[in-house]
């Protein structure tokens, strides 16, 4: 799986149990704790995900990352592929 899609999976894992996962605002520290990568690499992957319209980003007091409906669908598809491959 491509690195930026692994980041999408991490975001999905954070938000999937929220009643409105598209509205959950992930913060950088949540991603840094789940990814064994430098922030600069994570940020590059976020840029790719944003270009693909799988996440949105908004600068507030800190960066807020939200998964989009398309991002949720893509993450679910990846989960299904992983389960059928095993």
Beta bridge partners of 57: 65
- The number of residues in the chain equals 86
**Which one has a higher pLDDT value, 36 or 41?**
41
Task: State residue 12's pLDDT score.
Answer: 96
pLDDT of residue 8 exceeding 80: yes
Under the banding of pLDDT at 50, 70 and 90, the label for residue 78 is: confident
**Residue-range domain boundaries for the chain:** 3-81
pLDDT of residue 85 exceeding 70: no
Question: Residues 6 or more apart from 36 whose CB is under 8 A from it?
Answer: none
Across the chain, what does the average pLDDT equal? 91
pLDDT of residue 84 exceeding 80: no
Q: Say yes or no: domain 3-81 is CATH 1.20.1740.10.
A: no
* H-only helix segments in the chain: 3-15, 28-34, 39-51, 69-85
């Amino acid at each position: 799986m491509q690195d930026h899609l692994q980041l999408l999976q991490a975001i999905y894992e954070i938000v999937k149990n929220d009643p409105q996962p598209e509205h959950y605002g992930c913060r950088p520290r949540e991603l840094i704790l789940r990814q064994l990568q430098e922030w600069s690499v994570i940020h590059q992957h976020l840029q790719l995900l944003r270009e693909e319209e799988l996440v949105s980003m908004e600068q507030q007091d800190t960066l807020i990352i939200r998964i989009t409906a398309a991002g949720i669908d893509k993450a679910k598809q990846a989960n299904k592929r992983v389960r059928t491959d095993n």
